[in-house]
Amino acid sequence: MILTLIAYALLAGLALIVYLSWSFSPRLTVGVAGLLSLFLAHGAWKIFRKPTKGRGYRALAAATTAGFTLTAATAVFVLFYGAGCGCM
């Protein structure tokens, strides 16, 4: 029950952020969504590609990989615990 409430609060918070940012500036909202999509796509690409030899530790790759992993885990959490409301 508590996990379901957390999932609902997370969905409501995300909806509120999108609504407020869209009412402030639609162009900025689309731009930030595009940058976030690139960030997550780069993280997914780094996770699922074959590692290359001779490359050291890269801060951007680590940040995008962590961001993608956190986003994917959050999406799975919301899917499992937020889908029981019958509103999706």
The sign of the CA dihedral 60, 66, 69, 71 is negative
pTM, two decimals, is 0.69
Q: Is the pLDDT reported for residue 39 higher than 80?
A: yes
> How much of the chain exceeds pLDDT 70, in percent?
84
In the chain, where are the structural domains located?
Answer: 2-85
Percentage of the residues of the chain whose pLDDT score is greater than 90: 6
